[in-house]
Amino acid sequence: MSEKTATGEAMSFFHMDGFVPSFRQASRFAGDKGHVGTMLDVVDARLATPPKHLNGYDPSNPTPWDQYFTTMSAEYVGMSKGGIKILLVAHGVGPMATERGVVDAYKWQTSDKTRGREGGRITIDEFHKLESGHYGPVEVVELETYLRRYQYPFLSILSAVEAFVDPVLRARLGPRASEYLTEHARLAIEFYKKHHAYDPSSGPMNPYIIQPGDASCSYVYQEVEEGFAFAHLLSIGAISQVQGNDYGRLPTWSCDIGPHGWGDGTRMFGVREGDAGEIRKGPDARKLLLKHWRELMEPTGLDQAPGGLMVLMQLPDETWFTQVPKKGARADTYEPEFLVKSMQQVGEAVRFYTDSNYPVPIFRYDRKEVEAVLPKSANAYALVGEPDFTNGVGSRETCLVQGYRVEVDPTHRPIKEKVLENDYDRMMQLLNVE
């Protein structure tokens, strides 16, 4: 374990709308003397904060090993001034070291109306400035040599021995790569001893621990366009357990580290003055809304609820609300709207069927399909139990539904989750009272 002392406070911020709002909230937390976290900060945090549980974790209070992070470390691939393909890694410096720089790089994809482009780009001139050290120190890897080392580059989870000598992986992890890999391997072995009865007398263990990932535009199969270089932020995954014949008898205790796709989930983190230690989990708008709904009620200007069959939901404190209505055949919103003042069961639970299912593990249905089986006196309903397929995957889905007659208070409702998600001050206020 490293002796480096963590002195800064850090907090992560996830936002459904991706990089820009996540970055801005992390930057707001960091303040003028702090910064938005790089891969070097993730390494510092994982070395400073061991996992609480090797076989699972408490999602309400995860350690840095238990979450994925998108960082302000960036990776670039292009042709060097000498005419060879190289990979550069820059931690917190370079053309993607600012919000504007990141957005501009990914405009290669986001501004393409044909939706045929993937990933980020910078100009080859900017790439050569990076290569020359204009922005600061960068790690350089000869990519063609690297690609020849593996039969399936960027697809394999590497063992500890392989990881220690992998140049791309070491560039992505930075100067403390050896410390990180040593600790990661130690924890993997401890996991095997504790949960899989690993016998040390059978010989030294070389656990599979980490996968260097490829970009969505693929360093392996796609040549960068003339005059440009690939450009992406770097992300690192949470620890997971992958079982497979390629990894021996035991599951891996591993994570991935690689280029961030613009459409990927984005969790940035802010670091206040000092080195990152524990990265606290930041505000979750949905959970805050469900827990603090009383403080978040606002007038609606209504004296009666809109007509139509209402969908019910029960909050963690067992209070009943109607849900914000959905449109068409899709999943329920599970966003509270009107407080239920009284409710009476109407009839028994009945089964309905839907033809609206898709090949994804989300239950979609149309309210008309429910309305067709409920008593006419019911003005609200709640799903009962879990949905199921009538004849295996791909067949019609079905679920039980219970009808109710309810009275609601239409004069107030909680603010929208989307509004709260974008109100940094209110979320932090609610988070700090817990």
Sequence-distant (≥ 6) Cβ neighbours of residue 106 within 8 angstroms: 19, 119, 120, 262
User: From the CB of residue 388, how many other CB atoms can be counted at a distance below 10 Å?
Assistant: 13
Considering the entire predicted model, what is its pTM?
Answer: 0.89
Rounded to the nearest 10°, the torsion over CA 176, 178, 184, 186 is: -130
Q: 303-334: string of b/e by CB count within 10 Å (b at 16+)?
A: eebeeeebbbbeeeeeebbbbbebeebeebee
Instruction: Evaluate whether 236 touches 254 at the Cβ level (below 8 Å).
Output: no
Residue 262 in this model has a pLDDT that exceeds 80: yes
**What is the band of 200 on the pLDDT scale with cuts at 50, 70, 90?**
low
Task: Report the candidate in 204, 287, 264, 296 with the shortest Cα–Cα distance to residue 68.
Answer: 264
Can you tell me the mean pLDDT for 295-304? 96
**What is the band of 250 on the pLDDT scale with cuts at 50, 70, 90?**
low
Mean pLDDT lowest among 28-32, 125-129, 194-198, 371-375: 194-198
Can you tell me the mean pLDDT for 99-103? 98
Can you tell me the mean pLDDT for 25-35? 95
**What is the band of 2 on the pLDDT scale with cuts at 50, 70, 90?**
very low
Could you tell me how far CA 256 lies from the centroid of its own chain? 13
Q: What are phi and psi of 216, to 5 degrees?
A: -65, -30
| DSSP code at position 303 | S
Q: What is the mean pLDDT of the chain?
A: 91
Instruction: Evaluate whether 257 touches 173 at the Cβ level (below 8 Å).
Output: yes
pLDDT at 390: 81
Distance, in Å, from the CA atom of 107 to the CA atom of 306, rounded to the nearest integer, reads 42
Q: What angle do CA 190, 196, 200 make, to 5 degrees?
A: 60
Q: 16-28: string of b/e by CB count within 10 Å (b at 16+)?
A: eebbebbbbbbbe
Task: Report the candidate in 45, 62, 43 with the shortest Cα–Cα distance to residue 53.
Answer: 62
Mean pLDDT lowest among 44-53, 191-200, 215-224, 348-357: 191-200
pLDDT at 156: 86
What are the tokens at 429?
């206020």
Instruction: Evaluate whether 410 touches 298 at the Cβ level (below 8 Å).
Output: no
Distance, in Å, from the CA atom of 429 to the CA atom of 250, rounded to the nearest integer, reads 45
Task: Report the candidate in 86, 73, 171 with the shortest Cα–Cα distance to residue 124.
Answer: 86
Task: Report the candidate in 336, 403, 391, 396 with the shortest Cα–Cα distance to residue 363.
Answer: 396
pLDDT at 273: 85
pLDDT at 426: 96
